[in-house]
Amino acid sequence: MRIVLSGAAGFIGSHLCDRLLAEGHDIVGLDNFITGSKENIAHLAANPHFRLIEHDVSKTIEVSGKVDAVMHFASPASPNPDSPYGYPQLPIQTLKAGALGTHNLLGVAKASGARFLLASTSEIYGDPLEHPQKETYWGHVDPVGPRSVYDEAKRFAEAMTMAYYRYHNLDTKIIRIFNTYGPRMRLDDGRVVPNFIGQALRGEPLTVYGDGSQTRSFCYVDDLVDGIYRLLFSNEHDPVNIGNPAEISIREFAERISAMFQPPSPITVHIERRGSGDPQRRQPDITRAQTVLGWSPKVPLDEGLARTVRYFQTKIPKQRS
Amino acid sequence: MRIVLSGAAGFIGSHLCDRLLAEGHDIVGLDNFITGSKENIAHLAANPHFRLIEHDVSKTIEVSGKVDAVMHFASPASPNPDSPYGYPQLPIQTLKAGALGTHNLLGVAKASGARFLLASTSEIYGDPLEHPQKETYWGHVDPVGPRSVYDEAKRFAEAMTMAYYRYHNLDTKIIRIFNTYGPRMRLDDGRVVPNFIGQALRGEPLTVYGDGSQTRSFCYVDDLVDGIYRLLFSNEHDPVNIGNPAEISIREFAERISAMFQPPSPITVHIERRGSGDPQRRQPDITRAQTVLGWSPKVPLDEGLARTVRYFQTKIPKQRS
């Protein structure tokens, strides 16, 4: 298949490129590099099946030639207000990637009669009042809160995708991605995995915000990509959660990472929770993914973390091992 | 002030034109007439302070000359799937009016340093779990349900408006409009007020869907327009509900309209509720409007209905009075 993939140079997008190329597909990648990184796709430069167009998806684009699938993965995605790559620093770009970007790429898919896959997010559940979150849960999002630039953009993107399915008979799919980690995350994107590993590698204490009892569920990126790939070739049109339901408290997570280093990194606790609207808990119900895609996560946390640490070790001057 | 007003030929937009012109302002009205009506603004054709540009707000526009305020009132707004003017029949246009339209008009405001007022809606509360709805309630909306083309477009529009306020320092305002009625509604837009009055004027029974216990709160359009006008000249940036908190069941409402005719119209009850996602109850908490705008509704329901019936009598061949 010939696949248009936006956000091809991003953390998830670049892993998706590797998998799609390995499966024999051709990729037209789009990225404007405001959060994506040229380094993530440098190894594909000479691949004749990969072509990169530097393009902002919020502006219209026509892709020449036949297109079989369009996958929209372009968006800032870190909620951290202190990171230059967090969506609070890129609010208008985030809103535009979600709404105008989705509209433009649905147009590309419609013009070619191609299937369309939207990368949505567990953030559409907001600060959820139900645990774990099923796809039928409507979510709990503040439309005018500081995180709404991302959450509402993705909710809008889902609504528009479903409208193209219902009214233009486009073959659309929606994946709701929960916390994912792995190589090619940005060390400074402000999310907890690169934060902790970066601190440990620099010999600094791991900083836990809040009392550490808030939980997360971490999915290794290869597992996620496998779920995306299965969804792309499925007949599902309703949203599907992909994530790892294994819940872990941030405190315990810090301890697991600390224990990977010798000597173990100390952990410091900052009682004040960081970032307004940071959810206390979020965990996918993956019954649908298991049932309709035959998917479940395979990579254990310790193995995924070990691979991720090895990646970050190449990025940080080696101070300890 | 010189005011750009989208949706100028709509039900609410055209009443807003009358008020703004009466207050001495100049209007550049925009409308693409997919739900607006030329008849609603025919009386303004010779007014030198009013200019109409036939334009779809989902396409970019540059307005020449100084602009002091931009007001975005363009959108299909009836949830009725059977009406040609309902947003279920105009799903893509509705999504685009909310997202692309808001983006374009925020751009017009930003280019001129003009204030911006977004017409949002009580629909952002969805099928609410809290009564009455305060502005701080986050709502209960299905992002992929059939009504999401309107609800999520408006939630997105709010998020984008707040982002322009927070990050571009634009002077923005957001009004959340609850059920409004009055002259210039479309007889066939499928909403309950024109439905009931049209049926009564044609000598047909008034049809109540569901058991009739579901409630609505109806605000007369002149009251709404007064709230909009006050908000435009306020320093409020957070959303403000404007609506009439007086709650009435659909059954009782049908009886009130029936009683305005001689002989009274019979009422027939269709047990099946019409339209998926039709909320059981919605009622504004208007404490903020009272406090920050000094606004409350003034027109009693019977008086507003009498004015509305007189308007519809001019539209329907007189069969009874």
ipTM score here?
A: 0.95
Contact yes or no for B95 and A143 at CB 8 A = no
Query: Pairing mode, if any, of strands B69-72 and B115-121?
Result: parallel
Query: Contact at 8 Å (CB) between B170 and B109?
Result: yes
Phi first, then psi, for residue B48 (nearest 5°) are -70, -15
CA distance A221 to chain B (A): 26
Count each helix (H run) and each strand (E run) in chain B, helices first: 10, 13
Active-site residue identified among A85, A87, A125, A150: A150
pLDDT in tens, B188-215: 888 899 999 999 999 999 999 888 888 8
- Give the whole-angstrom CA distance, residue B162 versus residue B172: 7
Q: Does B100 touch chain A (CB under 8 A)?
A: yes
pLDDT in tens, A283-305: 999 999 999 999 999 999 999 99
- Give the whole-angstrom CA distance, residue A129 versus residue B18: 45
Contacts of A152 in chain B (CB under 8 A): 152, 155-156, 158-159
Nearest CB to A95; choose among B96, B153, B160: B160
Q: Does A239 touch chain B (CB under 8 A)?
A: yes
Residues with Cβ within 8 Å of residue B288, at least 6 apart in sequence: B134, B135, B238, B240, B241
* pLDDT average, residue stretch A314-318: 75
Domains of chain A by start residue, with CATH: 2-181+219-242 (3.40.50.720)
Specify the 3-state DSSP secondary structure of A1: coil
Contacts of A143 in chain B (CB under 8 A): 124, 138-139, 155, 158-159
Nearest CB to B100; choose among A100, A151, A155: A100
Strands lying side by side in the sheet with B172-177: B50-54, B26-31, B2-6, B69-72, B115-121, B172-177, B240-242
Token pair in block for residue A52: 């990169």
Residues with Cβ within 8 Å of residue B169, at least 6 apart in sequence: none
Cβ-based contacts under 8 A for chains A and B: 113
Three-state SS letters, B107-120:
HHHHHHCCEEEEEE
Catalytic residues of B: 150
Q: Over chain A, what is the mean pLDDT?
A: 94
Residues with Cβ within 8 Å of residue B142, at least 6 apart in sequence: A138, B126, B148, B277
Contacts of B143 in chain A (CB under 8 A): 124, 138-139, 155, 158-159
Nearest to B83 by CA among B215, B275, B313, B308: B275
- Give the whole-angstrom CA distance, residue B68 versus residue B33: 24
Nearest CB to A155; choose among B152, B163, B168: B152
Token pair in block for residue B14: 């055209």
- Give the whole-angstrom CA distance, residue B35 versus residue B97: 12
Contact yes or no for A95 and B153 at CB 8 A = no
Looking at residue B117, what is its pLDDT?
98
- DSSP secondary structure letters along B177-201: E--EE-TT--TTS--HHHHHHHHHH
Contact yes or no for B159 and A148 at CB 8 A = yes
Would you report the helix, strand and coil content of chain A in percent, each value rounded to 5?
A: 35, 20, 45
Contact yes or no for A156 and B153 at CB 8 A = yes
Whether the per-residue pLDDT at A120 is higher than 60: the answer is yes
- Give the whole-angstrom CA distance, residue B115 versus residue B71: 8
CA closest to A162 among chain B residues: B144
Nearest CB to A163; choose among B140, B142, B149: B149
Query: Contact at 8 Å (CB) between B316 and B201?
Result: yes
Contacts of A103 in chain B (CB under 8 A): 95-96, 99-100
Nearest CB to B155; choose among A152, A160, A167: A152
Q: Does B144 touch chain A (CB under 8 A)?
A: yes
CA distance A160 to chain B (A): 7
Contact yes or no for A143 and B159 at CB 8 A = yes
Q: Does B95 touch chain A (CB under 8 A)?
A: yes
Contacts of A149 in chain B (CB under 8 A): 159-160, 163
- DSSP secondary structure letters along A96-145: HHHHHHHHHHHHHHHHHT-EEEEEEEGGGGBS-SSSSBPTT---B--TTS
Query: Contact at 8 Å (CB) between A256 and A197?
Result: no
Query: Contact at 8 Å (CB) between B40 and B63?
Result: no
* pLDDT average, residue stretch A57-86: 94
Looking at residue B209, what is its pLDDT?
86
Contact yes or no for A156 and B155 at CB 8 A = yes
Interface test with B, best of A156, A166, A236, A237 (most B CBs within 10 A): A156
Contact yes or no for A159 and B144 at CB 8 A = yes
Strand partners, A119: A175
- Percentage of chain B exceeding pLDDT 90: 86
Whether the per-residue pLDDT at A319 is higher than 60: the answer is no
Element at B205 (helix H, strand E): none
pLDDT in tens, A33-58: 999 999 999 999 999 999 999 999 99
Looking up tokens 């977004």 gives B118
Contacts of A168 in chain B (CB under 8 A): 92
Confidence tier at A274 by pLDDT (50, 70, 90): low
Nearest to A62 by CA among A16, A2, A4, A1: A4
Looking at residue B301, what is its pLDDT?
95
Confidence tier at A282 by pLDDT (50, 70, 90): confident
Confidence tier at A215 by pLDDT (50, 70, 90): confident
- The answer to whether residue A125 is catalytic is no
* pLDDT average, residue stretch A221-237: 98
CA distance A227 to chain B (A): 21
* pLDDT average, residue stretch A100-117: 98
Residues with Cβ within 8 Å of residue B72, at least 6 apart in sequence: B6, B7, B57, B101, B102, B105, B116, B117, B118, B119, B157
- Give the whole-angstrom CA distance, residue A152 versus residue B151: 11
Nearest to B142 by CA among A237, A284, A159, A131: A159
Specify whether the backbone of B10 is left (phi greater than 0), alpha (psi in -120 to 50) or beta: beta
pLDDT tens per residue across all 321 residues of chain B: 999 999 999 999 999 999 999 999 999 999 999 999 999 999 999 999 999 999 999 999 999 999 999 999 999 999 988 899 999 999 999 999 999 999 999 999 999 999 999 999 999 999 999 999 999 999 999 999 999 999 999 999 999 999 999 999 999 999 999 999 999 999 888 889 999 999 999 999 999 988 888 888 999 999 999 999 999 999 999 999 999 999 999 999 999 999 999 899 999 988 776 655 667 778 999 999 999 999 999 999 999 999 999 999 998 765 554
CA distance A317 to chain B (A): 36
Count each helix (H run) and each strand (E run) in chain A, helices first: 8, 13
Q: Computed over its alpha carbons, how large is the radius of gyration of chain B?
A: 19
Looking at residue A82, what is its pLDDT?
87
